[in-house]
Amino acid sequence: MLRNLLIAIVLASFGFIFYNLYQSYEPQTELTGIAAHYAENGASEVGAANLVTAVVVSYRSFDTLGEITILFLTAAIISFFLKLSKEDEDKIITHRGTSEILQTASALLIPLIYLFGVYVFINGHITPGGGFQGGAIIASGVVLAIMANPNMTINHTVIIWVESISGVSVILIGVLGIILGGGFLDSTFTGYGLGEFGTIFSAGTIPVIYSLVGLKVGAEISNILNLYQKSQKEA
């Protein structure tokens, strides 16, 4: 009874807060402040056709670095908690057998999914998407592979090297921005030009950074999924 009363009070106060927000809400008809600056000068300053990418990788790249760090930390913590003992590692999962349809379809679809993931992060500065989205798409290809063959193992050494090298390279390109550009993680190097607007080789270092981020995110999420799959061996 008391519990229901408390829930009712919480709901009522939420309703009050949102009603007040709704009452004082006025839709803006034009961009103001820093958003207007991004929309006006984004194309000429950064050269990325996708303005979201221009904000994420150039204007606000420090936040993106934080996101990459958080994802790395999550992957590290999960691999710490899901560590298996040697006997469990060698066990083979007994399953009912995956269907013929899934196995045949996965052989056809997995390369296409990987290709689409790579397309999404290489074209992050032109079309919607980018490193994080492309990495997640690559990881969903890994999911399909694991589903088709539950005893599959991903080569740990490759994952670690891909992840470490791309992580370090992002920082190195950021430091290069101090020397050649306007500051840490600046995507435009002075004297190199921005390239033709709307082509793959444009927008300074954004395609390079986003490709590295995509590889890093894809490797991390694949590693997390592989660890969860392996953890099913433990009784």
Residues near other proteins (CB under 8 A) are: 50, 52-53, 120, 128-130, 132-133, 136-137, 139-140, 143, 221, 224-225, 228-229, 231-232, 234-235
Half-sphere exposure at residue 143, Cβ-oriented, CA atoms within 13 angstroms: 10
Residues 38 and 61: their CA atoms lie apart, in Å, by: 14
Nearest alpha-carbon partner for 132 in 186, 73, 68: 68
We find the least distance from the C-beta atom of residue 128 to other proteins, in angstroms, to be 4
- What angle, rounded to 10 degrees, do the helices at 100-122 and 206-231 form? 150
User: For residues 173 and 224, which CB has a smaller minimum distance to other proteins in the complex?
Assistant: 224
Q: How far is CA 125 from CA 109, 121, 176, 194, 204, in A?
A: 26, 8, 20, 12, 10
For the four alpha carbons of 46, 48, 49 and 53, in that order, the dihedral sign comes to: negative
DSSP-derived secondary structure for 186-219 = -S--TTT---STTSSS-STTHHHHHHHHHHHHHH
We find the least distance from the C-beta atom of residue 80 to other proteins, in angstroms, to be 16
User: For residues 166 and 229, which CB has a smaller minimum distance to other proteins in the complex?
Assistant: 229
We find the least distance from the C-beta atom of residue 191 to other proteins, in angstroms, to be 31
228 phi/psi in degrees, rounded to 5: -65, -40
